[in-house]
Amino acid sequence: MKSLIMLVLLVLVAGLAFGSVYFSRYNETVRLREAINASWSQVDVAIQRRADLIPNLVETVKGYAAHEREVFEKVTQARAAAIGAKTVQEQGQAENMLTGALRTLFAVAENYPQLRASENFMQLQRDLTDTEDKIQAARRFYNTMVRDLNIRVQVFPSSVIANAFGFKTRDMFEIEEPAAREPVKVDFTR
């Protein structure tokens, strides 16, 4: 009888230990998923802030370089694509396009010394630089959270729990073009 009680107690303790680990892993995975959602929101907020700055930047440059219509159209189209991106992959592609368009816009602006001296342009330059830094930091945090979740979804025993509850790996926010990996250069102090 004592051995039966001991066996039942042992099974009960083992079951409680397993359940504790099981629910702990589940809760940690949920926390990671929610951290990813929150960090993507931060990326989205920073990208929206940049998108809000771009029309002002375009209008400021237009005042000095009105004949550069094609450049302005490309920036406007790239901005629209960045705002309309629905997935991480679409956002990465839109970022590539927007970065290239902004580089072209800034290259055009270099040809206009009065523009570079404009206080409005200088403030937009500072705001854009600050926003680019925030986007970069938000991307890094997002990718760190995605990496952690992806490891948890793929490594045993967490993978058993993740699969049982439908957790999936997420995509990293990557920029494909090497030139687009560089921050947008906005220094016109030359």
**Secondary structure (DSSP) of the chain:** -HHHHHHHHHHHHHHHHHHHHHHHHHHHHHHHHHHHHHHHHHHHHHHHHHHHHHHHHHHHHHHH-TT-HHHHHHHHHHHHHHHH--SHHHHHHHHHHHHHHHHHHHHHHTT-HHHHH-HHHHHHHHHHHHHHHHHHHHHHHHHHHHHHHHHHHHSTTHHHHHHHTT----------STGGGSPPP-----
Report pLDDT for 63.
83
pLDDT tens track of the chain, all 190 residues? 788 788 777 777 777 767 776 788 888 999 999 999 999 999 989 999 999 999 988 888 888 887 788 888 899 999 999 999 988 889 988 988 998 898 888 888 888 888 877 888 888 888 988 998 999 999 999 999 999 999 999 998 888 888 888 999 999 888 765 554 555 555 555 4
Q: Per CATH, is 29-181 categorized as 1.20.1440.20? A: yes
Report pLDDT for 154.
93
Report pLDDT for 137.
92
- Model confidence over 59-91: pLDDT tens digits? 888 888 877 888 888 999 999 999 999 888 899
Report pLDDT for 182.
56
